[in-house]
Amino acid sequence: MTHSRYMIFGDPVTHSRSPLMHNYAFRGLGIDACYGRWKLADGHRLRETFFALGIKGANITVPHKEAAFAACDVLDPFAKKVGAVNTLVEREGKLYGYNTDAPGFLRAIQELKGKKVLFLGAGGTAQSTAVILKEAGYNVTILNRSAGRLEKFRDEGFATATFETFTPEHYDLIVNMTSAGLEDESLPAPQPILEAVIPEARACIDVIYGKETPFLRLARTHAKPTKDGSDMLLYQGIIAFEHFTDHAFSFDEIRPHMQKAFDFN
Ligand code: NDP
């Protein structure tokens, strides 16, 4: 096998842990390949940049997952359904697109008990993960700050509410799917709403990783088990790596190598 190169595209991209994750896996599994990062301002230039760099595969982060979807020649059925691609693989001059964020989240959440889930947030990540959870038999309710993004969820059969229309129920799992707490100290929903649902929940989950968000801090004051977005990040990376290597390695073979990227926390 010749030396292959891979890349993560995004803007910003300096914070991404993907190069470390994939380079550990390539080295640990004896594959002659390397993985770098590329700041891409204009998502319309993704396809030409991919081919100009002569790379074999890529991951795509904010804000280009829809642009990556549009850049593909062949789409995996799930990526096609949710309209967002975070993994590209080049095969015989064609770009194949996959979404591994949602399967990564599903795998992370399966380690917890309970099927009734409340999502706080209705952005792109919430959309793809809600669909995969529903397909896996979860009952997902979407609670969002504003009404605009909820229409699409309602069309797909999800129960939805804004902060004004929400009636609290029992939920097994409460998930922060927003960016609230990422670069500020805000909660994803008004505190009285959170205080009404957290005490009933089995666990609280955040898709944000690398810090304890105000949401997870609040959950801990109620003595709830918490989980940040590190496993989701790790698992989406492992599933992307499976695609990069055409499934030559299993999830469990890749995991210990990629896990090393998280050992410095
Ligand atoms: P989007 O920009 O698509 O969606 C943002 C959502 O968050 C909207 O529903 C928005 O509400 C809501 N929101 C933003 N700020 C606030 C706030 N202060 N209070 C309440 N609601 C707020 O984001 P993405 O779906 O792309 O990403 C969401 C999060 O997921 C990010 O934090 C990202 O880092 C994380 N992520 C983690 C991954 C991992 O591997 N761990 C993978 C992918 C994403 P409104 O509609 O009212 O504007």
Q: What is the DSSP letter of 210?
A: S
- Of 179, 207, 231, the one to substitute when testing ligand 1's pocket (max ligand atoms within 8 A of C-beta) is 179
Give the pLDDT confidence of 70-123 residue by residue, as tens digits.
999 999 999 999 999 999 999 999 999 999 999 999 999 998 999 999 999 999
Strand segments (E) across the chain? 4-10, 33-39, 57-60, 74-75, 87-91, 94-98, 116-120, 139-144, 159-162, 173-176, 203-206, 226-227
Structural Rg of the chain based on CA atoms: 19
Q: Return the pLDDT at 111.
A: 87
Closest by CA position to 228, among listed 216, 236, 214: 216
Give the pLDDT confidence of 207-229 residue by residue, as tens digits.
999 899 999 999 999 999 999 99
Phi, psi dihedral angles at 124 (to 5 degrees):
-60, -40
Cα 94–100–105 angle (5° rounding)? 175
User: Measuring from atom 27 of ligand 1, which residue has the nearest CA?
Assistant: 125
**Mean pLDDT value of segment 59-63:** 95
Phi, psi dihedral angles at 64 (to 5 degrees):
-110, 20
Ligand 1 nearest-atom number relative to CA 101: 42
For ligand 1, whether the C-beta of 242 sits within 6 Å is no
Residue 29 CA to ligand 1 centre (angstroms): 34
For ligand 1, whether the C-beta of 149 sits within 6 Å is yes
Q: What is the DSSP letter of 161?
A: E
- Residues serving a catalytic function are 65
For ligand 1, whether the C-beta of 236 sits within 6 Å is yes
Residue 1 has pLDDT above 70, yes or no: no
Q: Show the tokens assigned to 134.
A: 């529903």
Ligand 1 nearest-atom number relative to CA 121: 9
**Mean pLDDT value of segment 177-187:** 94
Q: How far apart are CA 127 and CA 111, in angstroms?
A: 21
For ligand 1, whether the C-beta of 59 sits within 6 Å is no
- Of 59, 98, 145, 160, the one to substitute when testing ligand 1's pocket (max ligand atoms within 8 A of C-beta) is 145
Q: Show the tokens assigned to 85.
A: 């691609």
For ligand 1, whether the C-beta of 152 sits within 6 Å is no
- 63 and 11 Cβ atoms separated by less than 8 Å: yes
Give the pLDDT confidence of 132-165 residue by residue, as tens digits.
999 999 999 999 999 999 999 999 999 999 999 9
Residue 265 has pLDDT above 80, yes or no: no
Residue 2 has pLDDT above 80, yes or no: no
112, 201, 209, 244 from 115: Cα distances, Å: 9, 11, 23, 32
With 0.75 as the threshold, say if the pTM is over it.
yes
Instruction: Give the percent of the chain with pLDDT over 90.
Output: 95
For ligand 1, whether the C-beta of 147 sits within 6 Å is no
- 88 and 72 Cβ atoms separated by less than 8 Å: yes
Q: Return the pLDDT at 188.
A: 98
Banded pLDDT at 263 (limits 50, 70, 90): confident
Ligand 1 nearest-atom number relative to CA 228: 41
